Amino acid sequence: MNDLLTLHFFKGLTNVQKRLYMQESARSNTSVKAIIFNALKNENNLDKQWSNACELAAQEAAICQREGVSILTADDVDNFPSFLLEIPDPPVALFGRGTWSNQKVPLAVIGARKSTHYGNLQCKRFVEDLSRFPINIISGLALGIDGIAHLAALDCGASTQAFLAGGLAHLSPPRHARLAQQILDAGGGYFTEQPFHTASLPQYYPVRNRLIAGSSLATLIVEAARKSGAMITANQAFQYGREVYALPGALYQPMSAGPNRLIAEDIARLVVDAEHLVSSFYPIWAKKEAQIDLSQALEGLLIQHFPHGRKVHSAYLKSKLNVSNSQLFKSLQVLLDLGVIAKIGPHTYVRKTAGH
């Protein structure tokens, strides 16, 4: 049994603590179980707790095998959402159908379930225009803006992925089962942190929202009431140091109250079209290849800390350059897109040599 799947079901630890144990395991080349047993050696019934977690993990693994569900653990560098590994409270495991693409830049597009005609049109326009770039549209498969974002991405041939609040046996809302299948048919996928038979209960939606925010390099909020799940996601993205963008709307329009508030409080940057967003979010897309000059950009400074053949950890780069997580990971993604560096492990990169 994979230790990380067991860790996922281990009770009494937060995801922040689990992340620290995973990091210590990777650093010391010691099993997660050994790390935990050493750290919690004074706890009562530790063997029983681990045994119970093993049993739950084995049961879920059997269900997933029977139902054709994929299990992604945080040590699966190729298939686990890479940006989720950078947040302080990542999931240890995800359960899903389809595949996750780490080859394109993830952008969350979120908003109100009771979206307006204006919001629907603007969401579709943004996604259509953004589909010209190597982008992966992330959302929550909900009614309203989420569904519009997924559908617009599918119509344009763009990549799209979804996160669910409950287990895969309880896809919510049920009317989006066909949309979920279309996402799979197009090569995307949908994922959850919850076991297969877990119902989509209200307390799981904030948990899901953090996955949307954490897996995305930036978040665009199209419409939302001032108190809503979309606002929770936007604020979570901001707390993670990710960039947040918001589409402004008419004053006193309830579904524009959320984005307008985010803009007023300097949590989100105001955007009016895709070109406006791209020029801020990913400027390299707004330039022709011949115009790309990294020598004066953060990417150029990063390259100086990549001796050929040497592994470089993101924490080392951050300490050397004194930049925010958002700035660092955006610049690393640019270098990945340009083929200058390669990601070889969680938080670990290497400069590519000629001919590779």
The yes-or-no verdict on residue 214 having pLDDT over 80 is yes
Domains and CATH numbers, the chain: 3-97 (no CATH), 104-284 (3.40.50.450), 287-351 (1.10.10.10)
pLDDT of residue 303: 76
pLDDT, greater one: 331 or 80: 80
CB atoms closer than 10 angstroms to residue 289: 7
The yes-or-no verdict on residue 153 having pLDDT over 70 is yes
102, 82 Cβ separation under 8 angstroms: yes
Mean pLDDT in residue range 149-155: 95
Mean pLDDT in residue range 207-214: 96
* pTM of this prediction exceeds 0.75: yes
214: which 2 tokens?
A: 């954490």
The yes-or-no verdict on residue 325 having pLDDT over 80 is no
E strand or H helix that includes residue 255:
none
Mean pLDDT in residue range 129-149: 94
Q: Where are the beta strands (DSSP E) in the chain?
A: 70-73, 93-98, 105-110, 135-139, 159-163, 189-192, 218-221, 243-246, 269-270, 311-313, 341-345, 348-351
Band (pLDDT 50/70/90 cuts) for residue 167 is very high
195, 205 Cβ separation under 8 angstroms: no
The yes-or-no verdict on residue 13 having pLDDT over 80 is yes
pLDDT, greater one: 278 or 163: 163
Total number of residues shown for the chain: 356
17: which 2 tokens?
A: 């603590």
SS3 content of the chain, % helix, strand, coil (to 5): 50, 15, 35
Q: Which residues contact 318 (CB under 8 A, 6 or more apart)?
A: 325, 328
The conformation of residue 287, written as its DSSP 8-state character, comes to S
Q: Which of 129-138, 205-214, 296-305 has the highest mean pLDDT?
A: 205-214
8: which 2 tokens?
A: 């996922």
Give the closest residue to 317 by CA, choosing from 351, 284, 283, 275: 351
pLDDT of residue 290: 41
Band (pLDDT 50/70/90 cuts) for residue 302 is confident
Instruction: Quote the mean pLDDT of the chain.
Output: 89
pLDDT one-digit tens code per residue, 245-282: 999 999 889 999 999 999 999 999 999 988 888 877 77
254: which 2 tokens?
A: 């309830």
Give the closest residue to 34 by CA, choosing from 18, 45, 21, 44: 21
35: which 2 tokens?
A: 């790390």
Cα R_g (the chain), whole angstroms: 21
pLDDT of residue 299: 76
pLDDT, greater one: 238 or 317: 238
pLDDT of residue 291: 47
- How far, in Å, CA of 53 to CA of 228, rounded? 34
Max Cα–Cα distance, the chain, nearest Å: 64
